[in-house]
Structure 1
Amino acid sequence: MKQNDLYYTPVRFSHLLGYSGVGSIVRLANYRTAVICDTRFWESAGDSSRTISYVKRISSQLAEGRELKAPPVSKIDNGRVYGSTIPAVVFPKTCFCRKCGALHLDPWAKQNLDANVEKLSCQQSSCGGELQQVTWCAIGDNGYLSEVDWHSLCHPKPSSCRRTIEGDISYLKLQEVNGQESVVCTECLKAKKLPRARLGSVNQVQPWLSPIKHKPIHKSMDGKNEQYYVTEINNPATYSPLTTRGIVIPPESRRLEETSLVSQLRNRSAFLSDIEASNPKRRESRIRQEARNIGCSPHELNTAIQQVRDSEYEESAVWESEKDPQEEEFLAFITMIENLQEDEDFVPEHETGMFRELIDAAFPQYKHVSKLIENLVIVKRLREILIFKGFKRGGGDEPLIVPPDIEQKSSWLPATELFGEGIFFSINNDLLSEWERQASVKSYVDNLSRAYEASSIELPSLSGAGVTPRFVLLHTIAHLFIRELESSAGYPAASIRERIYCSQALNMAGVLIYTTSADVAGTLGGLMEQGRAKRFLANFVAMLKRAEWCSLDPVCSEASGQGIESLNMAACHACSLVPETSCDFLNILLDRKLISGSKEHDISSLEDFALKMALRESTP
């Protein structure tokens, strides 16, 4: 949509806190590409961000105590945009002619045109070809993103070329040389291949900031010069967002639904402070005046103000805990909560007793599955907070993490609320502890652990668990269960997420399979129904069978390494991998053989092991 010579592009909250976040290159509604400015510019554009309430635990544990705010919201009404928008700048500003290949540096400025115009023409004599943004940029492991210095790239050392860059680079052309896109100088005929071409320096820190006057050579922590190189704008190395998630649990989840008036007052701290500081007569006058402006009675406004004050007290009274955040969530899932109300933000329904009764009464052949599952919980409602913590660029060993406000001086982080439902189940810890103590299992998974340590992959979400038999088993179960739900319940796998609760020291072995949306009403309830005792049993047994077979067997089951840096064993797209949005661990560290068993590695199937344990307990 266009208004006042500006183009507006709608973006989902979940995307804005992911691959369309601060510092990312996005495609706009007018088909140009642009970069999202940092959060300091969000505020200067008119901050209508809403502070997210009842998240002190998550803020303290996952956001270093900083306030969490939802991105500003705007509305479109009768073709006009109202409210605050998030600024972005056109990038790259270098264009090339689709007809002759000549490069043009910021042709909008040269031709005195708006950067949003739909077509630009090549100004080379008798050409007139259409100009298009280049798809190349310069990045560094320090998080820098810059226009490519095309002249210096093609002429890295002083040469006999008589041309020097003076705002006109049309003597340089993009051409294919020996099958690779290259920049070619038409004056001296020098050429430079573009992919991964090295640069000595760059002229920008970020596209929305002022250019660097003196091109510095930055040094990294080990004293070496920072490396800058040319890459395509859609290369994964150009942008990698850093996000974290947390689920709101009691007591913060036990708030009642707020009226729209209470929600509105939460974001009006100046008015609330004025009311609190006023004498009784002035306070009464301000209440009457504000009630007329809002369209409610003075009594309703007074009641809403008191509710805000009460909730602030309740929020500040949240306990301070030294427990691991995931341990707290795990305990919340397995603990019976009394007097639950449907409008709370965390509504678990324990199905474990019904599950065991069902197996005892109707499916005794699955007694071992009853032994395997320790807790089964239907999560009728949950509230997840997605926090954007920054981004990084490049593929170095230790790329710099750039915060959302660039300077890391802001007291808040962008975040959003997601509402949904899910199925939680945990594996019997005693059984699992005995299973993972087997020498054959430990030796087998140690190979995968060493491969991960030797790789260039670093998974922050894995830091607490480590590559252990317990983790690989739980992770593979989660993926196979998602695939089973996709076929049995008709859910697209891309709409389902996993959350793994794994720690041998803390006796955690849980899996949450859930779906969320930004709508406060949450989702439709179809996923949680798959957690009912009978349906869960059918899905879980089918999942165990699914682990035994892959359409690419025997290639898949006999693989010694596949996937990213060979960090999967018996796991491929035909059996165990799920969409990237569903997995917190890059679709790696998976192996069906830990479930189906392997004679070659002396590993019994999980079913056989559970059956053996069940028989041992039943034998007098």
Structure 2
Amino acid sequence: MTPPTRRKRTGGATGGALRKLGQARRSQLVTTYGVGAMIAVENESFIVAGHDSWSAHDAPKILERRLAQLLGVDHFRPPPAKDPDEAYDGVRVYRFPDYYTCPKCEQLLRFRAFNPPREEAVCVDCSKEKLVPSRFVVVCDDGHIDDFPYWEWVHRGADREGGTGRCALSMRTVGASASLRAIRIRCSCGVPEVSMEGAFSKRALQEIGYGCTGRRPWLAGGNSEGCDEEPKTMQRGSSSVWHPIVQSALSIPPWGEGIHALVEKHRLLGKEEGYVRTYLADRPGVLEHVGATVEDVLEVIAAADEVDSTVSEELPVVQRTSALRRQEYERLVRGNPERHSAEWQPFVCERPLGDVSILAPLHIEQPMLVKRLREVRALTAFVRGELPTEADPDSRRCELREQSTEWLPAIEVIGEGVFLRLSESRLQQWENETTVLHRAERVRQHHREVLQARARKKSRSGAVPESHVTPRQLLLHTIAHALIIEWSLDCGYSASALRERIYSDHDMAGILIYTATTDSQGSLGGLVAQGEPEKLELSVRSALSRAHWCSNDPLCMESDASGAESLNLAACHACVLLPETSCESMNSFLDRGLLVGESDSGLPGYFDVSHR
């Protein structure tokens, strides 16, 4: 038995000029439909191609030196954005999955075997009935993806060498049920009809002798590579099929501001003195924007290596990322008054005018008003299946390109925010309480088990990273969620328009809540006002009042574990969970019990103040 022969084509569906399929927002092409993700366009399905195939030469460069050094690239670029009536190229996609079915004649074939007219996904045998892309794909933990093996599935246990030598598959749905049992696969060779029931079981594909093909259809040519991971069946539209790995950084001084911004934007780093002098002499107005002289520019260029050495490239990526976070924290604490226009100063952070002493009973230290900020978010890789963790090997991280490029796809967002720190002296006293340590250890143990389970998997090697869960980290993360919910109700921002940035270490205890979106909600101007001490006090007290009670209590507060992979305690959708776009940790590592305490167990909340 062999798959059916391909029909003779009468018209090219993919040949000739590139076909314009649809549109997507730039931000979606980094966070939702990035490289390797599948996107539905009407009744067709495609996979986004590697960014080395994008027509990005017209896209402006995004410069963020700290993030570029971390990721080993020269610059970033947003996905191409052109008038669809004028565009000849842009973000390329490839058809995937290959298998389609006709709802009328029930044929299950590869798309080209239907011989559709150009730019139409229809069955020519059924009066141009619209085809439906396969609902099922197979993926492995190393990111490979391929069509579901329908032929192997229907012929399991049969004599694959017998039959007529020509097989034609068909798919039909019986009854009104949407279950897998109702989806039936038939073959013209006469083997018994089978359903899709059981296709999602852990070892279903291994039992029929199907292994990972190592296919990477998002790269040019779909080159495969050797792989011994066990594939598993997934729905084409499942969120587990594609998880982006996004790195971000705030633009803080010195780079991006004043003379440093001038040097970076005009690509003067590494240039000889003669070139710099000639370049600036030909553009006399450039220096006036930042009130600098040629000597000032040369001094900045000469000192660039010294500035860059603050984060050594020899350190692991995790440590370099932590170093970047520390730089942001120190700048947020120190502040940065406005000295230039927005073009030459993307970061403005100032102290509020009100009396901050009213925050002392809440154990909150000096808040800062971030009146202007810029964040660059870059897509660095993606994984399939389970969410990425610190224990994942490099083999899980799928490449975004086949050929090396000096840039990565990214978006820059402008916003505002409020930064606040918790009292270090109060924190040290609270986080050493026995009951606090015991409660945080429950989450830490669950996290450790997740890391160990990932490390034990086949082909995984190396030391298991230590869990980062601490009472401080849980506290900071949970109060950030509580404040985002409070401000979304109080100042008009939707929760999805607000984001958190957690700064937690043995000597860091801060949170930044900011509006960094690519639409108008990032610049409405209302969030900064919430950082004034009088309003901030009311917001925190109101947030704590809400945190004292959840409509799912007592089950929520008394839960031994909750959330994905049991990485939460007292946290659910009725109290502190947020839209996942707002959270750095996919709604994990939360516990409102650490905010407000629990009288039955004697757990002291950090905010041991009246919530009335």
* TM-score class normalised by the smaller sequence: 0.7 to 0.9
Whole-Å separation in 2 of the counterparts to 1:466 and 1:512: 19
Indicate the residue corresponding to 2:367 in structure 1.
376
Query: How far apart, in 2, do the equivalents of 1:10 and 1:526 lie?
Result: 31
Give the letter aligned to residue 21 of structure 1: G
Q: What is the aligned partner in structure 2 of residue 9 from structure 1?
A: 22
1:50 pairs with one of 33, 55, 60: 60
For structure 2, list consecutive stretches of 5 or more residues without a partner in the other structure. 1-15, 312-321, 456-464
Q: Is the 2:500–2:514 contact (alpha carbons within 8 Å) kept by the matching residues of 1?
A: yes
Q: What is residue 320 of structure 1 aligned with on the other side?
A: 309
For 1:575 and 1:191, locate their aligned partners in 2 and report how far apart those are by CA, in whole Å.
Answer: 45
| Paired position in structure 2 for 1:38 | 50
Q: Residue 81 of structure 1: SS of its match in structure 2?
A: coil
Distance 2:247 2:83 in 1: 31
Please name the residue that 2:230 is paired with.
Answer: 227
**Which residue of the partner structure matches residue 334 of structure 2?**
335
Q: Secondary structure at the match of 1:424?
A: strand
Q: Following the alignment from structure 1 to structure 2, what is the Cα–Cα distance between the partners of residues 458 and 379?
A: 39
1:424 to 419, 422, 428: 419
Aligned to 1:554: 554
What 5-or-longer segments of structure 1 have no aligned partner? 220-224, 288-297, 360-365, 612-620
Give the Cα separation in 2 of the matches to 1:431 and 1:531. Answer: 21
Residue number in structure 1 paired with 2:523: 523
Q: Which amino acid aligns with 1:32?
A: E
1:138 to partner: Cα distance? 2.2
Distance 1:160 1:127, change over 3 A: farther
Following the alignment from structure 2 to structure 1, what is the Cα–Cα distance between the partners of residues 537 and 422?
14
What residue is the counterpart of 2:136 in the other structure?
A: 136
Note the C-alpha offset of 1:342: 4.9
Change (3 A) 1:455 1:165: farther
Deviates more, 1:513-522 or 1:185-194: 513-522
What SS does structure 1 have at the residue aligned with 2:330?
helix
Shift of the 238–607 alpha-carbon distance from structure 1 to 2, 3 Å rule, reads closer
Q: In 2 relative to 1, CA 475–164 (structure 1 residues): closer, same or farther, beyond 3 Å?
A: farther
* Gap change, CA 1:511 and 1:442, over 3 Å in 2: same
- Distance in 2 (CA, whole Å) between partners of 1:137 and 1:178 is 14
Q: Alpha-carbon deviation of 1:578? A: 0.5
Task: Please tell me whether residue 236 in structure 1 is matched to residue 231 in structure 2.
Answer: no
Counterpart for residue 349 of structure 2: 348
Q: What do residues 67-106 of structure 1 show as CA deviations (whole Å, max 9, x unaligned)?
A: 22213433217x3226x51111121221112134320212
Summarize the Cα distance change of 1:511–1:159 in structure 2 as closer, same or farther, 3 Å threshold.
same
Change (3 A) 1:342 1:449: same
Distance verdict in 2 for CA 1:130–1:531, change over 3 Å: same
Deviation (angstroms), 1:436: 0.3
Asked if the contact 1:499/1:511 (under 8 Å) is kept, the reply is yes
Structure 2 residue 171 is the aligned partner of structure 1 residue 173: yes
Distance 1:156 1:308 in 2: 75
Match of 2:435 among 437, 440, 444: 440
Contact 1:59-1:68 within 8 A present in 2 as well: yes
- Asked if 2 retains the 8 angstrom alpha-carbon contact of 1:382 and 1:421, the reply is yes
Cα distance between partner residues in 1 of 2:368 and 2:160: 74
User: After superposition, what is the alpha-carbon deviation per residue over 1:218-254, rounded to whole angstroms, capped at 9, x for unaligned?
Assistant: 45xxxxx321233211122311111111111111132
Relative to structure 1, is the Cα distance of residues 346 and 464 closer, same or farther in structure 2, using a 3 angstrom cutoff? farther
Structure 1 residues 152 and 465, CA gap change in structure 2 (3 angstroms): closer
Q: CA-to-partner distance for each residue in 1:153-178, whole Å, 9 max, x for gaps?
A: 32246615755887xx6433244687
Task: Please give the alpha-carbon distance, in whole angstroms, between the structure 1 residues aligned to 2:555 and 2:401.
Answer: 48
CA displacement at 1:517 relative to structure 2: 3.0
2:38 corresponds to which residue?
25
- 1:125-146 C-alpha deviation (Å, 9 max, x unpaired): x897542111222222222122
Determine the structure 2 residue equivalent to 1:222.
Answer: none
Specify the SS of the correspondent of 1:410.
coil
Q: Is it true that 1:99 corresponds to 2:99 in the alignment?
A: no
Question: Is the contact made by 1:22 and 1:36 (CA closer than 8 Å) also made in structure 2?
Answer: yes
- Aligned residue-pair number: 549
Q: Given the superposition, is the C-alpha separation of residues 581 and 178 from structure 1 closer, same or farther in structure 2, using an over 3 Å criterion?
A: closer
TM-score (norm 1): 0.78
Structure 1 distance, partners of 2:286, 2:335, is 37
AA matched with 1:340: R
User: By how many angstroms is 1:301 displaced?
Assistant: 9.0
1:395 matched residue in structure 2: 386
Matched, 1:205 2:205: no
The secondary structure found in structure 2 opposite 1:442 is helix
- Is the CA contact 2:79–2:409 (under 8 Å) kept in the aligned structure 1? no
Q: Does 1:494 align with 2:492?
A: no
SS of equivalent residue, structure 2 residue 83: strand
Q: Deviations over 1:552-576 (max 9, x none)?
A: 2222222222221232211111111
Counterpart Cα distance in 1 of 2:294 and 2:36? 36
- Cα offset, 1:465, TM superposition: 8.0
Structure 1 CA distance, aligned partners of 2:268 and 2:20? 30
SS of 1:13's equivalent? coil
Question: Separation in 1 of the partners of 2:469 and 2:243?
Answer: 23
Q: Secondary structure at the match of 2:82?
A: strand
Task: Give the counterpart letter for 2:350 in structure 1.
Answer: E
- Structure 2 residue identity aligned to 1:481: L
CA distance in 2, matches of 1:520, 1:267: 31
Q: Deviations over 1:1-22 (max 9, x none)?
A: xx96722433222221112111
Segment of structure 1 superposing worse, 573-582 or 248-257 = 248-257
Give the structure-2-normalised TM-score.
0.79
3-state SS of 1:253 partner: coil
SS of corresponding position for 2:221: coil
Question: Which range moves more in the overlay, 511-520 or 467-476?
Answer: 511-520
Shift of 1:443: 1.1
CA separation of 1:341 and 1:601: change in aligned 2, threshold 3 A: farther
Contact kept, 8 Å, 2:31 with 2:379, in 1: the verdict is: yes
Percent identical pairs in the alignment equals: 25
- Cα 1:534–1:590, aligned 2, differ >3 Å: closer, same or farther? same
Q: 1:88 is matched by which residue type in structure 2? A: V
**Alpha carbons of 1:309 and 1:98: their partners in 2 closer, same or farther (altered >3 Å)?**
farther
Instruction: Map Cα deviations across residues 338-367 of structure 1 (whole Å, 9 max, x no partner).
Output: 56345211100112x73325x3xxxxxx65
Provide the rounded CA distance (Å) in 2 between the counterparts of 1:544 and 1:314: 47
Retained in 2: the 8 A contact 1:347–1:382?
Answer: yes
1:111 aligns with 2:115: yes
Contact 1:444 1:601 in 2 (8 A): no
Quick check: 33-42 or 428-437, which moved more?
33-42
Question: Secondary structure of the equivalent of 1:101?
Answer: coil
Superposed CA offset, 1:391-431 (max 9, x none):
11233984610122146x33332222111100100100111
- 3-state DSSP of counterpart to 1:606: coil
- What is the rounded CA distance, in whole Å, between the counterparts of 2:162 and 2:76 in structure 1? 54
Q: Tell me the residue number matched to 1:248.
A: 251
User: How far apart, CA to CA, are the structure 2 residues paired with 1:521 and 1:575?
Assistant: 24
2:578: which partner in 1? 578
Closer, same or farther in 2 for the Cα pair 1:16/1:307, shift >3 Å? farther
